Each structure stands twice: as structure tokens, then as C-alpha cells.
Amino acid sequence: MHGSVNGRNYLIPTGARIEREGDVDIEAVSADWVIEQMRYARNRLNIVVLDACRNNPFARASRSADRGLAVMDAPAGILIAYSTAPGSVATDGEGTNSPYSEALTRAMRDVHEPVEQVFKRVRISVMNATAGRQIPWESSSLTGDFYFSSAGRRVDNDSGPRPAAEASRPPPTAQVAAAAPSTTANTPGGHDTESSGSWLSNLFGLNKPSPGAPGAPGAPAPSAPAPGAATAGMLAGAKVVPVFQSLGVTADVDAAHSYAPATIRQWIATAPRRVTLGSTPEQIRSAFAMCRGYSSACRLDWYADELVRGATLAPFDLDPAPVSVREFRQFADAAHYTTEAETTGFAYALVAGKLAEVSGGSWKNAIKQRPVAEDSAVVGVTFQDALAYCRFRGARLPTEDEWEYAARGAERHTFPWGESPDPVVNAATAPPRANDGPAEGIGGRYRGLSGNVWQWVDTKVNGRKVLKGGSWLEPNPANKRVATRRYELAHRADEDSGFRCARTLPAWSDADQWFASLTK
């Protein structure tokens, strides 16, 4: 059994009795400690498989218990296999064993391929069995091949055992690296922060073209054409490489070869994206200069928390606009839900230019500052209220990394629509509608990402939740940039804080758009 506390994974003996947080280090075994012992043993290869339990056994014993497994580094010579993504829990399934356990057991017996390929087959099988809700992945720093089964191998007198088909494989190609920091960034509260090591090169089997069409394990793998121009029906690597670089897809493709469209389409649709978020020192100075153009009170240290960070994101999508008053009302009526502001009897608003506690203020009356429009973004909701709404709809709140990536796009724009602050230079005199504003974010599919309402995201920094986007009440456009953060207590409601939901998907929503750019 496995569980995680404070970002660390633990192996739990079946007879462990954990009644409080202090018992964890005594009753359970740290997975980091196990991996450290493997490293000191100096074995050439070690494999660790972690399967997230449905119910975290630490939840009742610890206020810092986490949901699902935490990311771990993979020292040289170790492969760490996770049954599902960080922060998620695995599906139990309907049989004796979980979908992951069953798929792994079959693959270890039947798939006579290197270990990375075996886990790729397991991933596809589990995604098919769970309709994309569970996506296994690996963190690996292996430098050689390992086979669970000896079938399909032959002995070479000069170099020892190796696969029979190895001699016919094309030579290794240069790896396409995403434009992101090579070291792990410290992203407070983020669920998708990239782990160190070379796990991305193994995730989704990106060391080699995927076998057959998407979701078709066992289909013959396409062979790489000889170097040169694209052959009929194939995509030239010279066109594929820059698209993969823009998206942050790490794969063994190069400009000298051609690739089957189905393989490239699968990578674009399902591969995690290694992205760069936050602001460079130059961008932070530019934000400060923009701020000073509107107020002499601005300080450079206001933006010091935006430092560049790397993250790896699985497919997801955001709501096209902030949740409206009408949508929240439908939820509250159907679920018989009472917000925290309604329960406590107050929320916060600007009164005569000063932030004040407004008695009786709630989302129903826009905290008594102005008439409530059904198509305006809902405000007066706390983080917990937003979380309840999203869960009611079968969704969740986005992480800061997800929100920021969707808003920036692959081009990493300063604002969701581009580089110009013009759409938010002048503060609005009344709350905008949820769908107001220019087309924003990836593919121009969103509205209201900036300058509408501050939006709760599921990321915590120093005990406070993060909000993104800058509201219509924010007078300075520098504070409406995509990278800008606001910190707030999770139980606080005010007149310009709203939200939008996110969903984990089996494939990226913009895959068709990117694939079409390769076929023009």
C-alpha cells in the first residue's frame, strides 16, 4: 500500500497503525529512503513500481496528507513507474486487481521488448480501460536495455545478450528538447512540476515511433524511412521538429527523416508537454516599468515571485469563460448549496475606496455594490465554494501551471491575447460579462482570462491560495498579465474574485489545430 504526506511517498506495511502524523515515519517506510538504498547498492538497474491507493490511509491521521502519489527524482540506473499521474489516485477496477496491476502483469509476461516499451504498452492499456481517466507514467534515468522476458533475444559472442531485431534498427536520432529549464523548478503548490532526470524521453514511449494507430497495442511499429525528403503520405521531420519544440513534446525525431502521420498525430494529441512558465528577469523588469507608467507607488519586488519555472502538463482544458451568476445559481439551487459568505454573514468589497467587510454581502447581491447581472462572472465566492461547484460538474479547479499555460499559449504571450496591454489599459466602470473581451489563450478558445475577475486556482503558496488574471477593478495593466499572482486565504470572499473549472482529458483539445499546421 502507498500514500503520500507533505510531498513524500511512503510504503505502508499491512499491519501499520497510523493514528497521527507523527506515526508516519515510525510505522511506514519512505520510498525516497528505499530508492536511496538502491543507489548506494550500485546495481546497474533498479525498478520501482508505485500504485496509488484509492483512499489515502494518511488522510485521517494527518492534516498534510496528499491525494495520490508525489513526484520523485530517479537517480541514475533507476526507473520509477507510477500507476497514475501526480496528485491523482488509481482506479480500483471491477476485478480482483486494478487495471494497472492487470496490464503490468500481462505486459511483463507477453511483451518481449525493452522495459520502456513494456510500460508504454501498459500505459495505453490502462488509458483504454479507464477511458483516459488514468494515465500511468514513468520517471527514468536508465542507460541500457532491460527485458522482463528472454523471448526474442539472441546471444552475441562479442557483446552479450541483446534483442534479435537490434541489428536492423535505425541509428539513434537527436532528441528534440523543449524550450524549458533543464533543472527542476521549485513551484509552490503546483501539481505538475517537472521532476529531474530524463523521464520525459521515456514517457509515452517517445524514444521510438508509437506502434500503429493511437490506442492499438501490438500493432507493428512503423519503420523510419531513409534520410531525405518526405515520402508519399509521410510527414517531413523538418516540419515536425519545430512544432514539437513549440509544444514542448520530447521525442526522438529529426529533420532528416519522415514519419507516419498517425504516429505524429498521436504524439501531438496525447504526449505530455514540457513547458516554461513564469517570467524571466527581463520580463519582470518590463512588468515593473509598465506598472510605473501608471503609478509611482510600484515596486520591483511586487513581481519577484514570478521567476521562471518548468512544468510538465498532461492533457487538460479550461472552461471557455469564468463561471457566470446564472451557472452558479443553477448549481446552488440543484445542490442546495450555501456559500461560505452566506454562512458567515459577510464578504469584502471596496467601499469609498477602501476594502471593507460588508455585512450580508454575497454572490447573490454582488456584495451590495451594484446590480447583479445573470451573465456576469460570479463573485463573492471562496476557494471552497469554487471547488464545490467544479466537483458538482464533474470537474476540478485548474492548477496555476495549467491556467497560465492555457492563457499564454505556446507563444508564451504576456497577455492572453498577445503583447499589447491595450484591452485592459482602461479600468472598466462596471463588471464585464463572463464572455466579454477578445479571443484569448490557446487557439483563441477562451474569454475573460484577464481583466474580468481574479480566478481561483488550485495552487497554494505559504498557506494562501493563488488567484490569476487580474480583475476589472485592478487599475494597473501590469497586474493583469498572465504571470501575475494574487494570494488569498481559501475562505475569503470578495467582490472581484471568481473562477473557472478545468478537466483532465485523454487528448489535448488543440491537437487538430497543430496537426493541421503540419499537413498544409
Q: What's the pLDDT band for 131 if we cut at 50, 70, 90?
A: confident
State whether 178 and 164 are in the same domain.
no
Helix (H) or strand (E) holding 316: strand 316-318
Boundary-marking domain end, from 118, 148, 169? 169
Last residue of one domain, picked from the residues 169, 188, 212: 169
Q: Which residue has the higher pLDDT, 189 or 442?
A: 442
Residues 277 and 416 in one domain: no
State the pLDDT confidence band at 269, using cuts at 50, 70 and 90.
very high
Using the 3D structure, point to which of 120, 154, 169 is the last residue of a domain: 169
321 falls within a domain:
yes
**305 occurs within a structural domain:** no
DSSP, collapsed to helix, strand or coil, labels residue 21 as helix
End-to-end CA distance of the chain: 50
Give buried/exposed letters for 147-172 (b at 16+ CB in 10 A, else e).
bbeeeebeeeeeeeeebeeeeeeeee
Residue 227 shares a structural domain with residue 160: no
One-character DSSP codes across 23-83: GHHHHSEEHHHHHHHHHHHT-S-EEEEE---SS-TTTTT-TTEESSPPP----TTEEEEES
| Whether the predicted pLDDT of 178 surpasses 80 | no
Supply the pLDDT for residue 88. Answer: 64
Evaluate whether residue 144 is within a structural domain: yes
pLDDT surpassing 90 at residue 238: yes
52-76 pLDDT per residue, tens: 655 555 554 444 444 556 666 666 7
Least confident piece of the model among 13-17, 295-299, 396-400: 13-17
Looking at the structure, tell me whether residues 373 and 229 fall in a common domain. no
| Mean pLDDT of the 496-510 span | 95
CATH number, domain of 75, equals 3.40.50.1460
Give the structural domain span for 493.
316-504
Mean residue pLDDT of the chain comes to 78
User: What cell numbers appear for 370 in the block?
Assistant: 451594484
Whether residue 299 lies inside any domain: the answer is no
pTM exceeds cut of 0.75: no
pLDDT at 267: 92
Indicate whether 202 pLDDT > 70. Answer: no
Same domain membership, residue 120 and residue 60: yes
Same-domain status, 216 and 107: no
Flag whether pLDDT at 159 surpasses 50: no
Question: With contact defined as beta carbons under 8 Å apart, do 306 and 241 qualify?
Answer: no
**156 and 179, same structural domain?**
no
E strand or H helix that includes residue 397: none
Is pLDDT at 496 greater than 80 in this prediction? yes
Q: What integer pLDDT is reported at residue 241 of this predicted model?
A: 94
Shared domain check, 75 and 121: yes
Give pLDDT, residue 151.
52
Q: Residue 433 above 60 pLDDT?
A: yes
Is the model's pLDDT at 508 over the cut of 90? Answer: yes
What average pLDDT does this structure show over 392-412?
93
**Does the pLDDT value for residue 25 go beyond 80?**
no
Question: Residue 123: pLDDT band by 50, 70, 90 thresholds?
Answer: confident
Give 75-100 pLDDT, tens digit per residue: 677 888 888 876 566 666 666 778 88
Of residues 124 and 448, more confidence is placed in 448
Domain count, the chain: 3
Q: Do residues 81 and 110 share a domain?
A: yes
User: Is there a single domain that holds both residue 190 and residue 150?
Assistant: no
Q: What's residue 423's pLDDT? A: 87
- CB of 488 within 8 A of CB of 465? yes
Give the least confident one: 49-63, 88-102, 154-168, 339-353.
Answer: 154-168
pLDDT above 70 (res 311): yes
**Residue 304 falls inside a structural domain:** no
Winning range, highest mean pLDDT, from 113-122, 397-406, 410-419, 431-440: 397-406
Residues 364 and 488 occupy one common structural domain: yes
Is 199 in the same domain as 288?
yes
Q: Which residue did the predictor score with more confidence, 123 or 384?
A: 384
Residue 300 is assigned to a structural domain of this protein: no
